[in-house]
Structure 1
Amino acid sequence: MESVNLKALTKTEIFARATEEEVSSMLNCLSAKKKKYQKDEIIFHAGDIVSSIGVMLKGNALIENDDIWGNRSVLDYVKEGQIFAETYACALDEKLMVNVIAMSDCEVLFLDVRKILKVCPNACEFHQNLVQNLLAISAQKNLNLSRRIFHTSSKTIRGRLLSYLSYQAMEREKEEFDIPYNRQQLADYLGVDRSAMSNELGKMQKDGLIEVKRNHFRILDVD
């Protein structure tokens, strides 16, 4: 396998609390493979059956679903250090319902999930922690999906925007922040029409609720 930055891997969520020596040993046990993708290239296609989880080494990606009529929904965002496709990899023979698309040039490390779930003959000391990390990540992903359901529960575009932006401000503990989505991606995430959402953002600015420039937001009215 092409060499990887072991120090950087110790900072990823799947290898949290591991030493460089432990990571090096685990990569051999997990049949690790590194692959590069160009911007807009599909990393995983809907309909694929996968047996490996992806670790985003460089770049970022979108997880999205396209229905049979071409309607697109953005489900999540993958940034450096995060993993993806773990649920489908663990659910053997389950076809992907989503596409994973590179938002920039990416480097991805693939790990055989079957070797994560089954202790290897070498009995790596970190293996138990690896499984615990995977469970914790899966729980967080479930929370992310629940959060999206909450953000899209409002019947109005403004309600959905306020829910999403309020959470972003709360998570960062500040009233000025960048979001990971462009205008179309945000509309797809919230399940609304882009033009209608852009109009609503303009109205919210006129009403003194927010300031917005591209993907940069500032919450103004917090009373």
Structure 2
Amino acid sequence: MRLLEYISVLKKTKLFKNFSDSDIIALFNENNYKIKDYPKRATIYLQNQECKSFDMILKGTVIVKTIDENGKVLTVSEFKTGDTIGGNLLFADCNNYPMTIEAKTETTLLHMDKELVLRFCQMDMNFSSELLRAISNKILIIGTKLKSITMKTIRQQIIEFLANQYYIQNTPEIKLNMSKKEWAEKLGVQRPSLSRELSKMKKEGLIDYDRKTIFIKDLDMIKNYLNY
């Protein structure tokens, strides 16, 4: 029973914290769940694909992205070990994925069917509460991301990113933990558009950069944003 390998992962989450090992083993059977491995960059769910299970990430990282008719990719969010997918869709009347789910790294998912989820909800109020919290958080993440994309220019989004990283890294020399392509997808723009705006900011003396680092030359730009 492969589930035994991951009971410790389940019990570290808020959803399953009140369940004993024996409770979990008793509720799971070969007909109500699957554990499946996905290689890096594998498509887990296509946009408009029907949601048939509530999924928990047992290992790895997945990204939620959408591609418009012009081929522009927007990375809406990413989720890691212990996070869940599909809770906001499984019980909906229209339960098709509005975006594509992709494995950012080698990933292992636990797929639980609807009846199993309902049994956990009936057994434990905490499970129900945490499920609702997860659903609410994902709706908020998507809404906030889309609002950010539609209301801000590319430069405003770049400055917002640099301001956040300046606060986190506590230095004007910002180390990038992603490629320019990944950054562009997070901003919801084409990579050439991001590169053009960075080039403009460099010519204006606001920043300097190489492949892995951006150096903030005009700290007033960041301080003005943080004080906005």
Q: Distance in 2 between matches of 1:143 and 1:42?
A: 24
Q: Partner amino acid for 1:5?
A: Y
**Contact conserved, 2:54 with 2:117, CA < 8 A, in 1?**
no
**Contact conserved, 1:46 with 1:99, CA < 8 A, in 2?**
yes
Residue 35 of structure 1 aligns to a residue whose secondary structure is strand
Instruction: Report how many residues are paired.
Output: 216
Alignment partner, residue 192 of structure 1: 189
Alignment partner, residue 103 of structure 2: 102
What percent identity do the matched residue pairs reach? 22
Residue 38 (str. 1) matches residue 30 (str. 2):
no
Alignment partner, residue 71 of structure 1: 72
Structure 1 residue 193, shift from structure 2 partner: 2.2
Alignment partner, residue 170 of structure 2: 175
Per-residue CA shift, 1:97-153, capped at 9, x if unaligned?
Answer: 221111121111111234323568xx63xx321111111111211221233134324
Q: Distance in 2 between matches of 1:195 and 1:114?
A: 47
List runs of 5+ in structure 2 lacking aligned partners. 224-228
Residue 130 (str. 1) matches residue 122 (str. 2):
no
Residues 27 and 44 (structure 1), Cα distance of their counterparts in 2 relative to 1, 3 Å cut: same
Root-mean-square deviation (CA, aligned residues, Å) is: 3.3
Query: Which has more helix, going by share of residues?
Result: 2
List runs of 5+ in structure 1 lacking aligned partners. none
Q: What TM-score do the two structures reach when normalised by structure 1? A: 0.77
Q: Which has the larger radius of gyration?
A: 2
Q: Distance in 1 between matches of 2:165 and 2:57?
A: 22
Alignment partner, residue 2 of structure 1: 2
Residue 161 (str. 1) matches residue 158 (str. 2):
yes
Q: Distance in 2 between matches of 1:14 and 1:204?
A: 45
Q: What TM-score do the two structures reach when normalised by structure 2? A: 0.75
Q: Partner amino acid for 1:76?
A: S
**Contact conserved, 2:149 with 2:187, CA < 8 A, in 1?**
yes
